[in-house]
Structure 1
Amino acid sequence: MNTIKYILMIVFLIPQVAEAIDRVYVGNMGDRKVEFYISAISENDFDIIYLDYKTKTISYLGLARKGDDGYHFRYNINDNLDTKDEMFIKDFDFGENQINSKNNYLVGSSQTFGDFKLEKKFEYNLSWPLIDNSDKKKLNEAKQLIKNTEFKNVEFLQRSSTKDFYFKVLSSKEKEDYIKIIGINIYSKKNGELLQSIKSLKGYPFQSFNVLQIGDFDFDGNENDFFLQNAESHADNVQQIYYIYDESQNKYIEANLEGYSIQFDPEKKTATSTKTCGDVFVDPMFIKLYKQYLFNKNKKKYDYQDQYCISYENSEEKSIDKKCTKKERLDCEKAVVEVGDEP
């Protein structure tokens, strides 16, 4: 059982700590102005999304094949799923744990748009052993980069978008700290103009392209709402905050729905947050605290309804669940929990 727990902890915790090499490039491919966003875990594992200003299309480049002359991308899938392309990136310098990589331009070619040369606008080149810290030199270099680097209000494009809007998270970093999301800029796909800025977000770590996810959370049949989460994981205790698009105001409003691993019931128009206290795989007993919310169509927000708490006991014969005691519920309310981990 301890081996299983260790493996699960690795799977669930990597997204929280795995800051990567992040870059932003701008320029033209053919007659198209583009923004390129790169996120790399290692020299052999990196992805790109880019924004085409002419069509307001977001395209994803993945499954790169490394050759002697550079990186070849065979898949280019945009959010309309109507374009596939082949792209080549020449002599990409990862500059692991360096303040500045040696090349100020991203040079390559596209089968569709031809040759391009894009200018680098931002870089943070963090690269360190995620699990095995035996590479002491690389580990120390990564620690120094974290210690000495700071920046504010850097926009980073998100892969998810609606039919009307695309999103860029605003990220900032203090010295000796990790990158955090402090806001969201929302842009119109019709004209590329900034529609709205959401500020003062707290507690949500930066996860490159996938911090923000799209869905229908006001049950109107349109997937034009979104949420942020603090981990790319389906584990317990993933913290989430939701925003609803209000067409009458042409803006996004905070939905009064922030909690853990939230699940929705479209028929009842409800949402349930589940906070888990204890390790469900190892501990003989753990607690789940459920909070229920009902969507208010007129206010475009959720109203808190009720909560209930269940205590689960694991035994060799069977699992037993019962209502929590008052002390168990209060202790779970106060507990600080991590994604897929013990409180």
Structure 2
Amino acid sequence: MLPENAGRWKTPAGITLLSVLYFSAVLLRSRPQNERPVLIRNATLWTSANNGTDVARGGDVLLDKGLIIALGSIPVHLTRPANLEIVDAQGKWITPGIVDAHSHLGVGSAPRLSGASDSNSRKAPIPPWLRNIDGINTHDLAYRLSMSVGITTAQIVPGSANNIGDQSFLIKLRPTAERSTSPMLLEPPHTLSLNESDGPPRWRHMKHACGENTLRVHSQTRMDAAWNFRQAYNEARKIKDAQDAFCAVVENGLWDGESPYTESLQWEALVDVLRGNVKVSVHCYEPVGLDSLIRVASIHHATSTYLVPDTQTGMGRPTGNRTVRLRLQVLYSFPHFT
């Protein structure tokens, strides 16, 4: 077992790197398949510092129980465990793991089978009560393919068939000894397990969508989609207002002991959105959709945002690619079509 204070040393380039880059309760609970400490020597480390230009040549990386313990020039006393596995990188590159912020791994899993497709629920256009952790396939063959190109973490989001989709979760792709879903989770929200509610707050995640997919699946227009958002958030607002009023009465010592606290398992996730506890990612393309959205953490795809640059103020930068002729909303992502 390596000491708790291991790994706070400087790389040859002088960049201070913490021993544990990402540490959470779920990582402590889960066990990676390979629990042996591993020392990778003589690597070219792309630290991603200085706007991605910093490189440490001839550096080492020490891992133990699936966690990065030290980077750069590693003290000798940390390299003495009897079961230490040493790998000579021979100058090959080691980069930070890639975080995929928009992934359907596990819910649109490979091989694609009729009994293993959980990307979308088609029961209703607004199902914020669903959680895609309940549908993540732990044996998706695409995990290994994704890891082979450097992806280590992914936000698993639902498809774009619904205006308000499932609650999303972040997972680590590496295999675990348990081979079940919960050990894969990265910083799961406390709403998932009341046993850990005393810790620091953790973000919840959710996906919304506008555009052609929701119109096609639910036979609706863009006006219907906008109404879906307004109606759903109006319900959440009424619940939030009732909760705030209850708390105000209690805090002032005026509670009669009989008035109930308003709760709704169906809408509680949207109430949390209004309270600022949920990062909302939105699948959206066109100016009409962008203009009708509430505040969001990031807009995915967003191929027409150059037409309405002012709407991006205060939001996360959009991501996505351009596949012309796939949809009308993508067609207008090219300036010469406008």
Q: TM-score range by the shorter chain?
A: under 0.3
Q: Which has the higher contact order (CA 8 A, sep 6+)?
A: 2
Q: Select the structure of larger CA radius of gyration.
A: 2
**With structure 1 as the length reference, what TM-score do the two structures score?**
0.23
**With structure 2 as the length reference, what TM-score do the two structures score?**
0.23
